[in-house]
Amino acid sequence: MKKKLTAKEKTHLERKDIIKTKVPGKIILSGEYSVLYNKPALVVPINKYLYCDISKTDDSGVTIELNDFKVKQNFTLNVIKRKGEKIEENLKSQDKVILKNFELTIYILYLLEKNYSISLNNLFISIISEIPINHGLGSSAAFIVCLLKSLKSYYCLSINNHSFIKLAIKIEDIIHGKSSGLDINAVFYEKPIFFNSLQKIEIIDNTYYSYKNMHLKPFDFIEQRSIIRNFSSGRGINSNFFIINTGKSESSTKQCIDHVIQLNKKDDFWRKFEEVTLNLKNAILEKQDEEIKKIIKINHKLLCELNVVPQKIIKFIHKIEEYGGVGKISGAGNIKGDNSGIVIVFIKNKEILLSLCKKFKFEIYE
């Protein structure tokens, strides 16, 4: 049954405005996979964005332009409905449904038309992303949330945050098989989040992370400012954090999740992850350098037990440890091949890190 529209929504079923929306990517500091077992995770947004522009056009139907794939195509309402219905049929009969390029956009349009009676005509959607795919930076979540936010604004839809996030997670489930909701919440709120299941989400405000002597410049991707909003600048523990790009993972997030689930790890294993995440949160607040290093090292070992850290990455992190630093993957990792997307490194000597990255042919984001 379609949702009954308010008078305001009926008035704005066809908008002439140009809606511009951007949503950040994210980095998981701790809690990969354990969130699937109702354990906490610590995640922060980054200064790397996905952009979505929606405007009215003279062309009939919906024109979708995906700049990163250099593709542009027009779809009629009937085609969108037919493709959307086909996706839903496949979801009922298959364990895996892969949505690529236009298909994800079409399915989101289909769901909103089906539930909110939006007018899918004379619509132009342009999407471009700075967030690399399969790097553990939340590109899928950013795509979903950004497009939904844009459409919500364009059609003036009355969707509260709870319903919005629930819908976004439903869509992400299709991509990853089982969504914890972590990435969706992180990019939706655009703030650091201590996440402990969908019922326990602590949005870490400026007060939480506002202590002095904190500097996250090495986390910056584009603009020279902290990725965690409104952090104080100056010398401190986080000036030793770096983000390393090891290259695109050969495994999808869904493949890695399926692999981890099949390992059937017991609850005591996931409780170790929970302890690590809680301890890291406290160590960051208390500015305990050595404790942070110790916790990240434990986190890395736990991720290795899940077989999602490639041998090349293990060797790289081992070298980091030889020079007094620590490192861990951030995101799903990889179950085949050498790369794993993003690796977080905590080390005091940047010159050593630069040398090691050159040797392993990795890139420091800064």
Which range has the worst mean pLDDT, 35-49, 186-200, 232-246?
232-246
Contact 211, 287 (CB under 8 A): yes
Condensed to tens digits (0 to 9), the pLDDT of residues 327-355 reads 999 988 999 889 998 999 999 899 999 99
| pLDDT-based confidence at residue 30 (cuts at 50, 70, 90) | very high
Condensed to tens digits (0 to 9), the pLDDT of residues 208-266 reads 332 222 233 323 322 222 333 322 222 333 578 889 999 988 988 888 988 999 999 99
- Provide the 10 A C-beta neighbour count for residue 83: 17
Inform me whether the pLDDT recorded for 202 exceeds 60.
yes
Does the predicted TM-score (pTM) go above 0.85? no
Considering the chain, what is the average pLDDT of its residues? 82
- Beta-sheet pairing, 241-245 with 193-195: unpaired
| pLDDT-based confidence at residue 201 (cuts at 50, 70, 90) | confident
> With respect to CATH, is domain 233-365 assigned 3.30.70.890?
yes
Which range has the worst mean pLDDT, 20-34, 149-163, 207-221, 283-297?
207-221
Q: How far apart are CA 184 and CA 308, in angstroms?
A: 22
Condensed to tens digits (0 to 9), the pLDDT of residues 87-117 reads 888 887 765 566 776 889 999 999 999 999 9
Token pair of 270 as six digits: 């996931």
- Provide the 10 A C-beta neighbour count for residue 347: 19
Q: How far apart are CA 346 and CA 45, in angstroms?
A: 18
The DSSP symbol for 343 reads: E
| pLDDT-based confidence at residue 2 (cuts at 50, 70, 90) | low
Please report the pLDDT score of residue 135 as a whole number.
Answer: 83
Please report the pLDDT score of residue 231 as a whole number.
Answer: 27
Token pair of 265 as six digits: 């790890």
**CATH architecture of the domain covering 7-202:** 2-Layer Sandwich (3.30)
Q: How far apart are CA 275 and CA 198, in angstroms?
A: 19
Q: How far apart are CA 122 and CA 16, in angstroms?
A: 10
Residue extents of the structural domains in the chain: 7-202, 233-365
Q: Per residue in 89-104, is it b (16+ CB within 10 Å) or e — as a string? A: eeeeeeeebebeebbb
- Provide the 10 A C-beta neighbour count for residue 225: 15
Q: How far apart are CA 99 and CA 47, in angstroms?
A: 26
Per the model's pLDDT, the better-predicted residue between 203 and 140 turns out to be: 140
Please report the pLDDT score of residue 81 as a whole number.
Answer: 94
Q: How far apart are CA 61 and CA 70, in angstroms?
A: 20
- Provide the 10 A C-beta neighbour count for residue 12: 18
Which range has the worst mean pLDDT, 163-167, 211-215, 276-280, 319-323?
211-215
Please state the separation of Cα 190 from the chain's center in Å: 11
| pLDDT-based confidence at residue 1 (cuts at 50, 70, 90) | low
